[in-house]
Amino acid sequence: MEASPDPAADQVPAPAVPDVRPRRAGYRRLPVQQRREQLIAVALELFASRPPEEVGLDDVAEAAGASRPLVYRYFAGGKQQLYEAALRTAAEELTSRFAVPLAGTPSEQLAAVLDGYFAFVAEHDAGYSALLRGGSVVETARTSAIVDDVRRAALRRTLRHLGVREAGPRLTLLVRSWIAVVEGASLSWLDEGRALPVAELRDWLVDQFTAMAAATALRDPQTAEVLAGLLALEGPDAPRAERLRAVLAAR
C-alpha cells in the first residue's frame, strides 16, 4: 500500500514580497548633528528668500528631503525654535569674523576685519539677510536678542581695536552708528546685486569711520585722544593721516 504523501513536506515557502512602498524623494539617513545642521541651513535659505511667516515646516521638510515629523524630532518647538536656531547659527559665524589681525596699521586692520565681514556676507547672503532684516511677525524678544548680541560683539571688538577700555557716551554712539552704516551698506550691496566691487565698499566704510570719528572728535576729548593715538600708529605717509591731522589741528 502506497503511503500517503506528507502535506507538510510538499509545502514550499512563498517567495518574499519586496517592499515597494514609496519613499520620500531625496530622503536619506544622516547622522544626528549633520541632519540638524542641514535643517538649519535649509531654513536659513527659506527664511531669507521669503518672509518667515510664509515659510512652514512642510517647506523646510520638503527642501531638506525629510518628513515633517523628522523636523519636529529635532525642533520640538516647531518653526519658531527652528527660526531662532537658524538665526543663532548665522550670528555665531558672523561674530567669529570680527577678529582683528595683529599686523598692519589701524586702518589696514579695520579693512581686514571688513574683508572677513564681507566674506561672510558674500558666502552666506541668505543667512545674513535673515539675521538682520526685522519686522516679521515671528520676531520675538529672543530673536531680537540674537541680533543685539552680534551688534554688542561688534561694539566690543571695535573699541578693543581702538584701545579703549571704557568708552564715553559720544565714542559709544560713534561706534554704534558706524556699525549701523556697515549693516545698511551690506544689505544695500546685496539688494543691488553686488554691483559695487567689495574692495571699494570696504575702503568707503573705512573712510566713513574716519570721517565720523573726526566729526565726533570736534566735540569729544576722548574721541580726539583715540584719533591722536591712531594717527601715531598710521605713519606719516598713510593716506588718511593728513585728514586726521587737519581735524586735530582744528580743535
Domain limits, the chain: 32-87, 90-250
Q: Confirm whether 32-87 and 90-250 share one CATH topology.
A: no
pLDDT in tens, 88-137: 888 888 898 888 888 888 889 999 999 999 999 998 887 787 777 755 55
SS3 of residue 85 by DSSP? helix
Alpha-helical segments (H) within the chain: 7-10, 32-49, 57-64, 68-74, 79-96, 106-123, 125-132, 141-161, 169-191, 198-217, 221-234, 241-250
Work out the pLDDT band at 140, boundaries 50, 70, 90.
confident
Whether the Cβ atoms of residue 96 and residue 153 lie closer than 8 Å to each other? no
Other beta carbons within 10 Å of 227: 22
The pLDDT assigned to 131 comes to 73
The grid coordinates listed for 225 are 585722544
pTM beyond cutoff 0.85:
no
The pLDDT assigned to 49 comes to 73
pLDDT in tens, 19-49: 433 334 444 566 788 889 999 999 988 887 7
DSSP state, residue 186: H
CA angle at 246 for the pair 241 and 250, rounded to the nearest 5°: 150
Query: What CATH class has 90-250?
Result: mainly alpha
Measured distance CA(88)–CA(36) in Å, rounded: 13
DSSP state, residue 196: S
CB within 8 A of 46, min separation 6: which ones?
55, 59, 60, 63
The pLDDT assigned to 13 comes to 43
Q: Where on the phi/psi map is residue 26: left (φ > 0), alpha (ψ -120 to 50), or beta? A: left
Which homologous superfamily does the CATH classification assign to the domain defined by 32-87?
Homeodomain-like (1.10.10.60)
The grid coordinates listed for 113 are 576685519
Amino acid at 30: L
